């Protein structure tokens, strides 16, 4: 998902979604979704009603960098000028610094709802 795409349409099983927040709440939300008519997409908090901070946590940063470095090492297209860099982690860090990482951070809330934030929106 590029920087201009809408995280509202992010598929939870998609490769560009990085899950953050309460893992047990996420599991409980998935389990509850199996038992009810509402789908997981109905649990998404609209972008204008998000309540979590726009700051990327150190845990989200580590996961985003690791995920992106793995993609780069698997020959994914690099979105910046690498200027002779060969280490995928350094390239991912530079992409994050320039806000070019095409990933979405999904934050699960204790009530089972979730918020999607693009790496472009989050402050590091």
Q: Tell the burial category of 106 from Cβ atoms under 10 Å away from its Cβ (0-12, 13-18, 19+).
A: buried
Which domains, and CATH codes, for the chain?
7-118 (3.90.940.10)
Kindly report, residue by residue over 111-120, the tens digit of the pLDDT: 999 999 999 9
- In this prediction, residue 60 carries a pLDDT of 97
pTM for the full predicted model:
0.75
Q: What is the pLDDT of residues 15-58, one digit of tens each?
A: 788 887 777 777 777 776 666 645 777 899 999 999 999 999 99
Each as own residue / partner, the long-range contacts of residues 58-61 (CB below 8 Å, 24 or more positions apart, any chain) are: 59/20, 60/18, 60/20, 60/105, 60/122, 61/96, 61/124
């Amino acid at each position: 998902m590029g920087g201009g795409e809408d995280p509202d349409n992010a598929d939870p099983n998609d490769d560009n979604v990085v899950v953050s927040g309460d893992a047990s709440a996420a599991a409980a939300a998935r389990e509850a979704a199996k038992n009810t008519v509402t789908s997981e997409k109905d649990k998404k908090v609209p972008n204008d009603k998000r309540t979590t901070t726009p700051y990327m946590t150190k845990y989200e940063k580590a996961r985003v960098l690791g995920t992106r470095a793995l993609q780069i090492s698997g020959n994914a297209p690099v979105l910046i000028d690498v200027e002779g860099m060969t280490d995928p982690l350094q390239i991912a860090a530079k992409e994050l610094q320039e806000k070019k990482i095409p990933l979405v951070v999904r934050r699960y809330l204790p009530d089972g709802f979730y918020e999607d934030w693009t790496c472009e929106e989050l402050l590091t």
